[in-house]
A and B are shown apart, each in its own frame.
Chain A
Amino acid sequence: MDAVFSNFDDYLKAFGLTIGLFVVAGIASLVWGTILAVLRVGPISILNKAAALYVTLFRNTPLLMIFIFMAIAMPVLGYNFKFVEDVEIGGYNVSAFFFRSCIALTLYTSAFVCEAMRSGVNAVPLGQAEAGRAIGLTFAQSMQLVVLPQAARAIIPPMTSVLIALIKNTSVAAAFGMAEAVATMKALTNNNADQRTGIFLAFAVGYIIIVEVVALASYAVERKVRVAR
């Protein structure tokens, strides 16, 4: 444990990077996953199939292989993402490593986001939409007033699982040059092998705290939006 407390800024920095990866990749995969879900349940059959193919492909690929694609195969094809290092946001540079890791996490997680969304839409009973149409609601109205409010509530639990998995999956970036929590844990253990159990517990607790915050937040939201049936 001593090694963690004497290097506490490294510990915080490491988890800061973990949270950074989680937030950026989380938002990106929510956006891309929603687009995929719209294609997946939309009326155009060829786009349904394309989105289904994407989901099957990325769901069955290990995240590490996607990282290998982004970090090792893409530079060979001429995409090394160095251009992001020239972009400055508020005085901070984004490293190519961070950008690549976020893309890999997004590509992977969005497949699960898409499936969570789809299961939410499927959870709405068919009669609800039919009743909406029967009383003369337009497509937009029946979406806005009937289908989406119910689907959104059904999405919360599976989406929480997806986001919690994303927090844990950010650790894979450790193998590709990001000094996030697991990589820092490895480095600390390398220097202080006698304290490995304490270091492990300290980092595990850090992850557990982040996971619990997300889980409790989602639980609070779920309780807030729950409707009496």
Chain B
Amino acid sequence: MSASVLFDAPGPKTVARHRLYTVVSIVALAAMVAFAVWRLYDRGQLEYALWEPFVTPKYLEFILVDGLLQTLKMALFSVVFAVVIGLVLGIAKLSDRRWIRWPAWLVVEFFRAAPVLLLMVYAFYLLAIGNGPLSPFWCVVIALTLYNGSVLAEVFRAGINAVPKGQSEAAYAIGMRKSQVMGTVLLPQGVKIMLPSIISQMVVALKDTSLGYYITAPGLTAVGKPIYLEFGNQVPTAIVITGLYVGVNLILTWIATVAQRRFVGEKKALAVPMVGDMQSGRAV
């Protein structure tokens, strides 16, 4: 406790007071949980029939294959494409030439400020509706790629700027060209710093795939509907699907933390506004 900015080490009186607060809050929290469980029970939501689909292999397969796998695929595709776009835009933003830098800046700002759902709806009307060439699946991927690509552009820029200045100076001093400095010196070092942010951004992408619900794309959110329409088990379905999302995201966050420890060490994580990062919770 003494290591906190806020409090000094508590004395005996304070310890006694805190013990009282602890007891009161345990009682309050237990009461809240009990009320929630009672409410579920009272409304018949804990009956086995409503939960049965989630232990039935046929429905489980439906949820995991048509839901989770599609969601993961959408997230993976959009992050892979977003890394490419982010790399291009990020390097373009660092360019010395104004006519490269400014359009890149404009693109990044535009796609960062427009809501993903707006992009998705537009992509849906442009490419998927009627006899459009793409399925809603790819509209979700396109919208997420554009948004996350713009966010990752900032990550790449910050990551490359985070490489110590002496590195590029030394490279120039031994006579490398600009593209060589970027490709052989700055990027390989920058990527290590960026990796945790890129993985955290995947959590954001994964969460945003659920927005595909609005444009009839497949995914974990979309598979809930046929199940609760068939069984009338809205509450259990919502709980199970949310649990799956939370589980997958926690695994990704854990991987990002490991990557941070492996590649960046105890140094501070890259701080870029509006990018997922483990500590300050900006991955909105």
Contacts and interface: CB of A to CB of B under 8 A. Distances in A.
Given A60-B250, A208-B110, A78 B122 contact: no
A167 B116 CA distance: 12
Interface stretch (B6-14, B155-163, B189-197): B6-14
Contact of A65 (B26, B114, B129, B210): B210
B5 A121 contact: yes
A189 B114 CA distance: 17
Nearest to B212: A64
A48 to B, nearest CB: 10
A185 B221 contact: no
Given A46-B29, A50-B29, A171-B118, A112 B110 contact: no
A76 B45 contact: yes
A46 B281 contact: no
Given A43-B7, A60-B253, A65-B242, A196 B125 contact: yes
B213 A64 contact: yes
A21 interface: no
Nearest to B117: A171
B18 A77 contact: no
B222 to A, nearest CB: 10
A129 interface: yes
Contacts, number: 183
B167 interface: no
Interface residues of B, number: 62
Interface string B198-236: 000001000111110110000001001000100000110
A161 B25 contact: no
A207 B115 contact: yes
Interface string B113-145: 111111001100110010000000000000000
Nearest to A45: B22
Contact of B6 (A47, A59, A129, A185): A129
A29 B4 CA distance: 25
A158 to B, nearest CB: 6
Contacts of A181: 118
Main secondary structure of the interface of A (DSSP, over half): helix
A68 B40 contact: no
A7 interface: no
A129 B234 CA distance: 50
Contacts of A122: 5
A129 B2 CA distance: 11
Interface string A166-187: 1111011011000001100110
Contacts of B164: none
A62 B207 contact: yes
Interface in A187-220: 189, 193, 196-197, 200, 203-204, 207-208, 211-212
B121 A186 contact: yes
A73 B117 contact: no
Contacts of B245: 60-62, 65
Contact of A212 (B8, B113, B117, B126): B113
B114 A207 contact: yes
A64 B26 contact: no
A119 B281 contact: yes
A182 B118 contact: yes
A69 interface: yes
B238 A41 contact: no
8 contacts: A46-B22, A46-B29, A56-B246, A68-B224, A76-B234, A118-B281, A168-B113, A196-B125
Interface of B: 1, 3-8, 10, 14, 18, 21-22, 25-26, 29, 39-40, 43, 45, 109-110, 113-118, 121-122, 125-126, 129, 203, 207-211, 213-214, 221, 224, 228, 234-235, 237-238, 241-242, 245-246, 249-250, 253, 273-274, 279-284
Report, nearest first, the 9 A-B pairs whose CB atoms are least far apart: A115-B281, A165-B284, A62-B210, A60-B249, A119-B280, A168-B115, A171-B115, A200-B122, A64-B210
